[in-house]
Amino acid sequence: MSSQIDHLLTETRRFAPSASFAAQAVADRELYERAAADREGFWADQARALHWHTPFTRVLDWSNPPFAEWFGDGELNVAYNCLDRHVEAGNGERVALRWEGEPGDQRTVTYAQLTDEVKRLANVLTDLGVERGDRVAIYLPMIPEAIASMLAVARIGAVHSVVFGGFSADSLRARIDDAGAKVVITADGGWRKGKVSPLKPAVDLALADRNGSGIQESVEHVLVVKRGENDVDWSEGRDLWWHDVVPQASNAHEAEAFPAETPLFILYTSGTTGKPKGILHTSGGYLTQAAFTNRVVHDVHPETDVYWCTADIGWITGHTYVTYGPLANGATQLLYEGTPDTPHPGRWWELIEKHGVTIFYTAPTAIRSFMKIGRDVPQKFDLSSLRLLGSVGEPINPEAWVWYREIIGADETPIVDTWWQTETGAIMISALPGVTETKPGSAQVPLPGVSIAVVDDQGEPVGNGSGGLLVVTEPWPSMLRGIWGDPDRYRETYWEKFADKGYYFAGDGARLDDDGDVWLLGRVDDVMNVSGHRLSTAEIESALVGHEGVAEAAVVGASDETTGQAVVAFVIIKSRYLKQKGVEGLGDELRTWVGAQIGPIARPRDVYIVGELPKTRSGKIMRRLLRDVAEGREVGDTTTLADTAVMSVISAQVK
Ligand code: PRX
């Protein structure tokens, strides 16, 4: 990490906002002053931009930390805020979604149409027995029905758990079981990389006969959208086609008011243990910060902008900046089903030109892969509609930042590098476009109303020019409210480390420069960030040792030019297995195995078969040393190893 820091510190380029951008920007400097003068009053003002069926009188209740309540006595309906209120304000004909499928098919969905669809689906879900507080799993491709599903679940006060379509049947099953989902909404399949990738079969597998498993099946119905036209098995009585029930349902549905702290969704993310955590978000505070940050950080002008966030709804970015933020603001957005390079490497730029996209929000890994392909691909397209670019999910290296600005942003558009997490629910650290002078590679400043610090192990501020751990020092509206079904893990993971100070521990390392701007330095725990996706080393290790040949496994995240980090696995093979089958092809077999167990994003880049792993005297694997090997560096200090010779053996085996 130190070489990375040195490199960052030599970065001195600065980009002031243009006068024309600043003149029209939603954000202004005053926001900081207002928030500093009265933080809770500031958030109350932002919350009042939403429609409250019952206005709140209390802002923050932090009497039972770390369990916060925001706007606790207020009542609202999240879906009403994203839909009906725009229609009632006379904007029903405004386009909510300009959707394009990977094969090039298109649909335009207005706010009136989306409201209508959500009302019908809300009636269908109610008829299927879904009640307030029940959980609904959503396993869909990026099609308008995915957005409608989230909103319909929210509309009836139920809780959605969206599972990324790239996750395996096993991962889906674990998530369905943990949440006790009553209904699953899926599709036959979706388009990815030029072909239909089936989804329904994974749902069937996840719900397959559980005799002997001891698990009571919670799922009563599976609602299936026809998208891929692939053949699917059918379980009579359990499965329903969307097109058989939704269009026929009544479009009369009144949005009920729910208390602000009504659970809105659970979203699973990787932690430091093998078991994914179900991060719980609630309604009023979450929607407040989602809408506010989308407005001021993405500079959304709903009447004129065409906004595009490329994230899948299976991740938090898709929840907050595809579904809730932009729709709460009444924005028009592009929704694209497929991959960036199908059928040609310029597909994203073609979409920007065709749909006149003005605001574009994506991940550094995508930018780096475009850099690799070369500038002549985007330069074939007219990208002049773009006026703001955003980055999210991992540190963006200054080179990628500058390329993004020059090649995609015509050397003119502001770039916002936004730091946040599944747990924070919405953006926490970012420049404000039109206000902040930007620095390539730094996420810069906490948003108005957000209090962060960089501290040492004792929780003391490190001061400018030093590095430490990133913490959030005050509760914020869109903060997680817990881990589903596991309050102890919630406390331990985020609040125990700085319990005496009451700080939220984010798990990221950070450095403050001489101006006090924040530079994120990556995770300080056993969580990897591969292409902006969070993966846990423990989860992949446990998948590896599930293979019949593997005795022990250690996984590290090694830096990778394109994906930020890459999964590198070191495995010890059982000697009996070696004698019978040998190692021929075993590395590839294990890569495929992990892909099937968790999902293709978790597939290791490299699998090294070794004879031993570096362990301390207490038996803890020293991943730091394995990372040195994986990154081709000289191996660091080995004095705490039980057997100091082991690293030279491993290094030799890896070569
Ligand atoms: O390490 C940080 C990194 O992504 C982690 C959160 O991952 P996830 O919950 O999947 O959410 C990703 C989308 C918000 C953080 O702990 N991260 C996210 N954004 C940035 C970042 N690291 C550096 N710079 C960022 N802008």
Extract the runs of DSSP E, i.e. beta strands, from 116-163.
Answer: 135-139, 159-162
Q: Is the pLDDT of residue 3 over 70?
A: no
Give pLDDT tens digits for 237-281.
999 999 999 999 999 999 999 999 999 999 999 887 778 899 999
Q: What is the per-residue pLDDT for 516?
A: 96
pLDDT band for position 5 (cuts 50, 70, 90): low
Q: What is the per-residue pLDDT for 8?
A: 64
Q: What is the per-residue pLDDT for 618?
A: 76
Task: Of 19-33, 511-525, 535-549, 631-645, give the lowest mean pLDDT range.
Answer: 631-645
Query: Ligand 1 test: best mutation among 420, 493, 528, most atoms within 8 Å of CB?
Result: 420
Residue 32 neighbours by CB under 8 Å, 6+ apart: 448
Token code pair at residue 512: 């403050």
Q: What is the per-residue pLDDT for 633?
A: 87
- What is the crossing angle of helices 30-37 and 39-47, to 10°? 120
Q: Which residues line ligand 1 (CB under 6 A)?
A: 269, 316-317, 392-395, 417-422, 443, 506-508, 520, 523, 529, 534
3-class secondary-structure state, position 458: coil
Q: Is the pLDDT of residue 124 over 60?
A: yes
Q: Is the pLDDT of residue 118 over 50?
A: yes
Indicate the length of the chain as a whole number.
655
- On whether 484 is known to bind a ligand per the annotation, the reply is no
The CA distances from residue 252 to 183, 237, 503, 586, in Å, are 22, 26, 46, 58
Q: What is the per-residue pLDDT for 63?
A: 97
Q: Is the pLDDT of residue 342 over 90?
A: yes
Token code pair at residue 544: 């590896």
Contact 361, 393 (CB under 8 A): no
Q: Is the pLDDT of residue 621 over 50?
A: yes
Q: What is the per-residue pLDDT for 2?
A: 47
Contact 161, 267 (CB under 8 A): yes
Q: Is the pLDDT of residue 179 over 80?
A: yes
How much distance in Å is there from the Cα of 544 to the middle of ligand 1?
A: 26
- On whether 323 is known to bind a ligand per the annotation, the reply is no
- On whether 173 is known to bind a ligand per the annotation, the reply is no
Q: What is the per-residue pLDDT for 620?
A: 82
Give pLDDT tens digits for 297-336.
999 999 999 999 999 999 999 999 999 999 999 999 999 9
H or E segment and range at residue 647: helix 646-654
- On whether 531 is known to bind a ligand per the annotation, the reply is yes
Radius of gyration of the chain (CA): 24
- On whether 195 is known to bind a ligand per the annotation, the reply is yes
Q: Which among 442, 446, 495, 123 has a CA at the least distance from the CA of 297?
A: 446
Q: Which among 408, 401, 372, 387 has a CA at the least distance from the CA of 519?
A: 401
The residue nearest atom 5 of ligand 1, judged by CA position, is 421
Q: Is the pLDDT of residue 341 over 50?
A: yes
Q: Residue type for 91, please?
A: N
Residue 369 neighbours by CB under 8 Å, 6+ apart: 340, 562
Percent of the chain exceeding pLDDT 70 equals 98
H or E segment and range at residue 155: helix 144-155
Atom of ligand 1 nearest to the CA of 427: 14
Q: What is the per-residue pLDDT for 643?
A: 83
The residue nearest atom 23 of ligand 1, judged by CA position, is 395
Q: Is the pLDDT of residue 648 over 80?
A: yes
Q: Is the torsion defined by CA of 388, 390, 395, 401 positive or negative?
A: negative
Give pLDDT tens digits for 421-444.
999 999 999 999 999 999 999 999
Atom of ligand 1 nearest to the CA of 391: 26
The residue nearest atom 10 of ligand 1, judged by CA position, is 534
Percent of the chain exceeding pLDDT 90 equals 86
416-441 in b/e burial notation, b at 16+ Cβ within 10 A?
Answer: bbbbbbbbbbbbbbbbbbbbbebbbb
Q: What average pLDDT score do residues 349-370 get?
A: 96
The residue nearest atom 12 of ligand 1, judged by CA position, is 393
String of DSSP letters for 264-326: EEEEEE--SSSSPEEEEEESHHHHHHHHHHHHHHTT--TTT-EEEE---TTSHHHIIIIIIHH
The residue nearest atom 22 of ligand 1, judged by CA position, is 394
Q: What average pLDDT score do residues 558-581 get?
A: 93
The residue nearest atom 3 of ligand 1, judged by CA position, is 394
pLDDT band for position 525 (cuts 50, 70, 90): confident
- On whether 194 is known to bind a ligand per the annotation, the reply is yes
How much distance in Å is there from the Cα of 102 to the middle of ligand 1?
A: 27
Partnered with residue 560 across adjacent β-strands are 564
Q: What is the per-residue pLDDT for 7?
A: 61
Q: For the chain, what is the mean pLDDT?
A: 94
Q: What is the per-residue pLDDT for 211?
A: 66
How much distance in Å is there from the Cα of 523 to the middle of ligand 1?
A: 9
Interface predicted TM-score of the whole assembly (ipTM), two decimals: 0.99
Query: Ligand 1 test: best mutation among 534, 535, 539, 601, most atoms within 8 Å of CB?
Result: 534
